Chain A
């Protein structure tokens, strides 16, 4: 053996006996190392904020639902002498149909995008993301205009007179509105599926279709289940479309809305929304903690190579035709929205006009436009930073059930249906908090609230849009070697310093997409907001709803177009402003 260094200094003389002696006394249990002060304070602050943003409103809805009126609804929910069981059943059926159709559409497009060779992929991708940046009524009004009783296509082209109102139209519109969730889900999954698996199957002599059925599809089962469940939750929680195109197909969300705005029965509205809350939460939990754990794809990490793209074959042709129909449909929808804004009344009085835009840009519309944008702009950075903070705590600072609980409470803003959130805010924050003559904080929602109720709306925007940032933050953080955080700590940085100097810059892409998504979500949300808008704070989506309700589609189309333009412009701006210009920026997380 080579160079043997002598012991240094007062090192214990070498012994031939093993040194693992038993100490005379049992070692005393040590105190916990714990977190440094800044981290502790931060965790406390975030917990307090989450309680304010979602915990208390949720508790209030539950409390309301269990008052006398509410209990009456709850007790009759399954009794056949009311219409309640029917409402529940219809809600669940809608969840099933939208979940299935949306998942199929999302999967087909994702598969075509990742595995087929064709031109124009980028455009198809952008078109597929359109529903994310557009307000809830765009697709519904376009559908009525195109395929309604006097629809441009159904009646004008084919002479049919079919009604778009009801389950059929609702499923069509919701599937078109929510499939991007499934599409993004599958796209990520297919891209991360190790092509070596396919290659292995191929080298064993399997043909493409056979590979698809025996290798690709089984690997995607958790993804399929996950997408279905996510869409299910979105569908049963949606309020805008059942109001616009549901006709007399009443679901729980619209029933709750009618109870509150039509019958002025708050407790009943709360009770209906609570009935909606449980399946939504249950499905969300199953999706998040059961399906995602079963996911094989997630753990295989970065793919080893690029999969071979399918360039020919019958399957490809069929899929491309489906894709073509889909693209045509999307273009048609948004084409209708854009063109419809410049026409008196599309399909009825087809004369060109600028009246719609004049109404919006000069009348009441412009106020809603500026205020909505301003409130969303205030909420977005807060939601973005909060989402990243929570993600960081969940992945790095908390362990075991504490991390799980924090993650779950953060995600509640997404999992809890908008109607529940709206009713919660309406009842929880419509009065000032006064205790022993001390006013802790003023009313946040309703007519007498501070800043005309704007603060309440901003808070709703924050809690509704924060979870998407949290989720992308968690995913990004899990990719970063924990040793990088530890290295920073070991060099003397506190938790907060590490977050600021190391973590945040490293998750910048996730942060950016979180910001963009937050803004889009704030601008397009309706179901929680509709309960807390005040005369002083007009919101674009609820203005659009009023126009649709009054049958003034021209106004609605113009509103939708402007909203889409605002969202796209701000997302572009966010990407410009927050972009990193330092030379290290493009180096990324390589190696």
Chain B
């Protein structure tokens, strides 16, 4: 099945330029989106990720045409579509609540859009049947939505959107009402179909794992602005800001005494009482900066030293998760979290144990300190 060749996608090139949305509220106005610029390639799967209220849904609804931006433009394949009404846009949306028509059978739900297109009956039947088959829904085509499980309903919603062959598919947290196992299964199903049909997809979620595992690119948003738009690996390894680093995955931010640039994209910093060379974000050394070290990059080694200071710290807590063990270490720079995967059970360190703290220098990342104060808990 997955051996089908991916069609070369040429349509569905979506551009957002300087998108702004100001809501009129009782007390003046609220700026939900602040100059969003995005260039989404044909066939790309892009995820909007960010904390609640950052403007993900608003962005998606502007693309779909349900909201009018107060500034900026939405361009599809070179044409501005900002004045086109939603039903005329070649897009289909999948909703968090599924939004199936409760008074129609599964078959009628999926056929709804094609019927409106006045498709000949034979074509309509064929396309609906094939959409139902591809989602494994053939058995249930006569059921009412309320007679189906959440996962099945979401598959119907997906089939209903896909059967339209839209240029752009829009998803607003489509999996958040499903249980964890089903969520994982649906992720790959959505991704598989999207790839096979070669449809551009914009996917809103606040589930990191979902964003990481599905996306070509992740757009991290905060307070109506784009903090970073890059591949999952980039966003994780080389976050553009402390906010992104803190939002995606877990992070230790170490205070940096002094930093100076050392060649292209790296810097020499003094941290934990030692000087190391580390990859650095552009312009990181221009002002105050911090060093990002992911918990899984931290290495702890037992030591006989008695006093906390420099690289030496004391274990505060140890939590065993089975596949990993997590330590919180008290150090001169504040508390540092360390995660060790696949630990040997008899080598797990006890709280109170003095340890020497190390980390893979090539895995750390120097960042401008701006924005977020949440350095350590």
Interface residues of A (CB under 8 A from B): 1-12, 14-23, 26-36, 481, 483-484, 486-494, 497, 501-502, 505-506, 582-585, 587-591
Given contacts A4-B233, A7-B216, contact A27 B73 (CB under 8 A): yes
Q: Which of B35, B170, B231 contacts A22 (CB 8 A)?
A: B35
Tell me whether A584 and B87 are in contact (CB under 8 A): no
Residues of B close to A489: CB separation below 8 A: 66, 86-87
Do A491 and B164 form a contact, CB below 8 Å, given A14-B231, A584-B105? Answer: yes
| Interface size bracket, B side | 35 or more
Do residues A587 and B102 form an inter-chain contact, with CB atoms below 8 A?
yes
Contacts of A26 in B (CB 8 A): 18, 71
**How far, in whole Å, are A115 and B131 apart by their CA atoms in the complex?**
50
Measured CA separation A26–B9 after assembly (Å): 32
Contact call A21/B37, Cβ cutoff below 8 A: yes
Question: Which residues of chain B (99-127) have a CB below 8 Å from chain A?
Answer: 99-105, 112-113, 116-117
Stretch at the interface among B235-243, B301-309, B322-330, B343-351: B235-243
Query: Closest chain B residue to A24 by CB distance?
Result: B18
Q: Which residues of B contact A23 (CB under 8 A)?
A: 17-18, 35, 37
Residue contact B41 to A587, C-beta cutoff 8 Å: no
Chain B residue contacts of A29, Cβ below 8 A: 70-71
CA distance A31 to B80 in the complex (A): 11
Report which of A492, A501, A502, A591 forms a contact with B164, defined as CB distance below 8 A: A492
B365 CB to closest chain A CB, in angstroms? 9
List residues of chain B with CB within 8 A of the CB of A2: 209, 212-213
Given contacts A16-B230, A484-B102, A493-B112, 15 further A-B contacts (CB under 8 A): A5-B45, A15-B229, A16-B240, A17-B240, A29-B70, A30-B68, A490-B170, A492-B88, A492-B116, A505-B103, A582-B103, A583-B144, A584-B102, A584-B105, A585-B103
- Contact call B231/A7, Cβ cutoff below 8 A: yes
Q: Are B216 and A5 in contact (CB under 8 A)?
A: yes
Chain A contacts for B117, CB-based, 8 A: 492
- The reply on B146 being an interface residue by CB < 8 A is yes
Name the distance in Å between B25's Cβ and chain A's nearest Cβ: 11
16 contacts between A and B (CB under 8 A): A5-B45, A7-B44, A8-B43, A8-B44, A8-B45, A9-B41, A9-B42, A9-B44, A20-B37, A20-B227, A23-B37, A26-B71, A490-B91, A584-B102, A589-B102, A591-B102
Do B93 and A490 have beta carbons less than 8 Å apart? Answer: yes
Which parts of B52-69 form the interface with A (CB within 8 Å)? 64-66, 68-69
Task: Check if B234 sits within 8 Å of A14, measured CB to CB.
Answer: yes
| B19 partner residues in chain A, CB cutoff 8 A | 27
Q: How far is the CA of A497 from the CA of B86 in the complex (A)?
A: 14
Closest to A400 in B: B24
**Contacting residues, chain B, for A36 (C-beta < 8 A):** 85, 87-88
- The answer for the CA separation of A26 and B217 in the assembled complex, in Å, is 27
Q: Give the residue of B20, B191, B228 whose beta carbon is less than 8 angstroms from that of A19.
A: B228
Which residues of the partner chain B approach A18 to less than 8 Å between Cβ atoms? Answer: 226-228, 240-241
Main secondary structure, interface of B, reads mixed
Q: Which residues of A contact B92 (CB under 8 A)?
A: 490-491
B133 within 8 A of A: no
Tell me which residues across on chain B come within 8 A of A501, comparing CB atoms: 112
* Bound Cα distance A591, B71 (Å): 38
> Shortest CB–CB separation between residue A492 and chain B, in angstroms?
5
Q: Is the CB of B37 within 8 A of A488?
A: no
CB of B295 to closest CB in A, whole Å: 13
Interface residues of B (CB under 8 A from A): 9, 17-20, 35-45, 64-66, 68-73, 82-89, 91-93, 95-97, 99-105, 112-113, 116-117, 144-147, 157, 160-161, 164, 170, 191, 209, 212-217, 225-234, 236, 238, 240-241, 249, 281-282
* Minimum-distance CB pairs A-B, first 8: A491-B113, A27-B18, A483-B99, A590-B146, A487-B99, A14-B230, A587-B144, A11-B41
How far in angstroms is the closest Cβ of chain B from A47? 21
* Chain A residue nearest to B232 in the complex (CB): A4
Q: How far is the CB of A15 from chain B (nearest CB, A)?
A: 6
Which residue of chain A lies nearest to B24 when distances are taken between CB atoms in the complex? A400
The answer to whether A1 touches B232 (Cβ under 8 A) is: yes
* Cα separation A19 to B39 with both chains bound (whole Å): 10
From known contacts A27-B35, A36-B87, A486-B95, infer whether A4 and B102 are also in contact, taking CB-CB under 8 Å: no
Q: Nearest Cβ in chain B — how far from A487, in angstroms?
A: 4
Minimum C-beta distance from A98 to chain B (A): 37
CB pair B85 A35 closer than 8 Å: yes
Looking at the assembled complex, report how far the CB atom of A26 sits from the nearest CB atom of chain B, in whole angstroms: 8
CB contacts (< 8 Å) of B44 on chain A: these are: 7-9, 11
User: B113's contact among A6, A484, A492, A505, by CB below 8 Å, is which?
Assistant: A492
Cross-chain contact A481 with B17 (CB below 8 angstroms) = no
- With A16-B238, A490-B87, A491-B113 already in contact, the answer to whether A483 and B216 are too (CB < 8 A) is no
Q: How far is the CB of A507 from chain B (nearest CB, A)?
A: 10
Among A1, A483, A494, A497, the residue within 8 A (CB) of B212 is A1
CA distance A16 to B87 in the complex (A): 37
Contacts of A490 in B (CB 8 A): 64, 86-87, 89, 91-93, 161, 170
CA distance A427 to B366 in the complex (A): 83
Query: What is the minimal beta-carbon distance from B168 to any residue of chain A, in angstroms?
Result: 11
Are the C-beta atoms of A16 and B281 separated by less than 8 Å?
A: yes
| Shortest Cβ gap from A402 to chain B (Å) | 13
Q: Which residue of A lies closest to B86 (CB)?
A: A489
